[in-house]
Amino acid sequence: MLVLDGKIASAAVKATLLAQTQALKTAGKRTPHLAAILVGNNGASETYVASKVKNCEETGFESTLVRLDADIAENVLLEKIIEFNNNPLVDGILVQLPLPKHIDEAKVIETINPSKDVDGFHPANVGRLVQGLPTFIPATPYGILLMLEHFNIPTKGKNAVVIGRSNIVGRPMSILLSSNIPQGNCTVTLCHSHTTHLKSICAQADIIVAALGAPNFVTGDMVKPGAVIIDVGITRVEDPTSKKGFRIKGDVNYEEASVNASAITPVPGGVGLMTIAGLLKNTMKAYEAAHLS
């Protein structure tokens, strides 16, 4: 069984990006610049944003992190986004989700200039993804495609089951896997909370992408011999024996699933690292597009 190691696959992507930023610096040019906005102090969001900023540094990107209080007025956030939209030295803008309840997430996403929307969440970019046009692929699905590419996992003609229909992962992943792209051309079933016979649907899958946020949801009996298992789950579960007081759990029961699987992503150390690789690649794309136009 092959462990789809995110450390290995993301290191390969980041090495290419680092070579690109070094070449830019040698040529006396500025490097791609990601601006991240974090509202409030959700523990998981803090960790993710800190990791995104650290990875920018490691690959020679510029980054700016703006922190806003949880009770900030919506228009203050929108104004910050507009400021970044208008700043030619910012290539990519990211607003970490989820946002506090009083802020309209859709309005925030629609305020980001689509050409700087490196999360690929803007409706214009989602529309382009659906139509197979060049766009920013949301970072987690993009990271999964990069993972499949790195480990040469064949997808053409396979039965893929995606569990979870979020705008961030499940929905775009289902569209990409069904698209006519190198890591696509699957027959896709998108399962969600109202799906009946979910277990038997999964048991027929050649590829399972679990993105529902329920620890150990995918059990051994749902994994067909030879299936490829992509675990997107990153739920924090209490663990008094750990220093932080919690552990990260995936959506897949790794021990059970590994019995039948031909390949599986670990948690942590799998898809999470690829999400950052996808985000960095999108930021480089935004930079390149801005410098070609």
Q: In what order do the strands lie in the sheet with 92-95?
A: 62-68, 33-39, 92-95
Residue 95 binds to ligand GUN (criterion: CB under 6 A): yes
Residue 119 binds to ligand GUN (criterion: CB under 6 A): yes
Quick one: which H or E segment has residue 38? strand 33-39
Write the DSSP symbol of residue 116: G
Q: Return the residues of window 273-292 that contact ligand GUN according to CB under 6 A.
A: 275
The CA distance from 49 to 42, in Å, is: 11
The CA distance from 52 to 65, in Å, is: 10
Taking the complex as a whole, the smallest distance from the CB of residue 169 to ligand GUN amounts, in Å, to: 8
Taking the complex as a whole, the smallest distance from the CB of residue 263 to ligand GUN amounts, in Å, to: 23
**Which amino acid, one-letter code, is at 220?**
G
Taking the complex as a whole, the smallest distance from the CB of residue 120 to ligand GUN amounts, in Å, to: 9
Active site residue 52: yes
Active site residue 244: no
Q: In what order do the strands lie in the sheet with 2-3?
A: 2-3, 263-264, 228-231, 207-210, 159-163, 187-191
Taking the complex as a whole, the smallest distance from the CB of residue 279 to ligand GUN amounts, in Å, to: 7
Write the DSSP symbol of residue 117: B
Taking the complex as a whole, the smallest distance from the CB of residue 45 to ligand GUN amounts, in Å, to: 7
Looking at 90-98, 205-213, 219-227, 285-293, which segment touches ligand GUN (CB under 6 A)?
A: 90-98
Cis omega (within 30 of 0) on the bond before 268? yes
Catalytic residue among 14, 52, 80, 249: 52
Q: Return the residues of window 161-220 that contact ligand GUN according to CB under 6 A.
A: 168
Nearer to ligand GUN, 94 or 160 (CB): 94
Q: Which two tokens stand for residue 280?
A: 């960095």
Measured at CB, which residue is nearest to ligand GUN? 97
Residue 55 binds to ligand GUN (criterion: CB under 6 A): no
The CA distance from 193 to 112, in Å, is: 31
Catalytic residue among 91, 117, 119, 206: 119
Q: Which two tokens stand for residue 264?
A: 């599986």
Active site residue 221: no
Looking at 59-67, 89-97, 175-183, 208-216, which segment touches ligand GUN (CB under 6 A)?
A: 89-97
Residue 129 binds to ligand GUN (criterion: CB under 6 A): no
Burial class (CB in 10 A: 0-12, 13-18, 19+), 28: exposed
Site residues, ligand GUN (CB under 6 A): 94-97, 119, 139-140, 168, 275
Residues with active-site annotation: 52, 96, 119
